[in-house]
Amino acid sequence: MERITVGVVGALGKMGQEVVRAVLATEEMELVAAVDIMGVGEEICKYVGGDCQLKVEQDLNQMLEDKNPQVVVDFTRPHDVFANAKIILEHGTRPVVGTTGLDPDQIEELDSLAKAKGVGGLIAPNFAIGAVLMMQFAKIAGRHFPSVEIIELHHDKKLDAPSGTAIKTAEMIVEGRRGPATSAMGELEKIQGVRGGQFEGIHIHSIRMPGFVAHQEVIFGLPGQTLTIRHDSIDRESFMPGVLLAIRKVLTAQGIVYGLEHFL
Tell me how crowded residue 13 is: count the other CB atoms within 10 A of its CB: 19
The answer to whether the peptide bond before residue 162 is cis (omega within 30 degrees of 0) is yes
The span from the CA of 10 to the CA of 100, in Å, is: 13
What pairs with residue 96 in β-bridges?
A: 73, 122
**Torsional sign, CA 148, 154, 156, 157:** negative
Catalytic residue among 154, 203, 215, 231: 154
The span from the CA of 162 to the CA of 158, in Å, is: 10
The span from the CA of 106 to the CA of 247, in Å, is: 22
Catalytic residue among 55, 67, 117, 158: 158
55 is catalytic: no
How would you write 150-219 as a 3-class SS string?
Answer: EEEEECCCCCCCCCHHHHHHHHHHHHHCCCCCCCCCCCCCCCCCCCCEEECCEEEEEEECCCCCEEEEEE
158 is catalytic: yes
The span from the CA of 224 to the CA of 38, in Å, is: 54
The span from the CA of 55 to the CA of 128, in Å, is: 29
- Identify residue 192 by its one-letter amino acid code: Q
What amino acid positions are annotated as catalytic residues? Answer: 154, 158
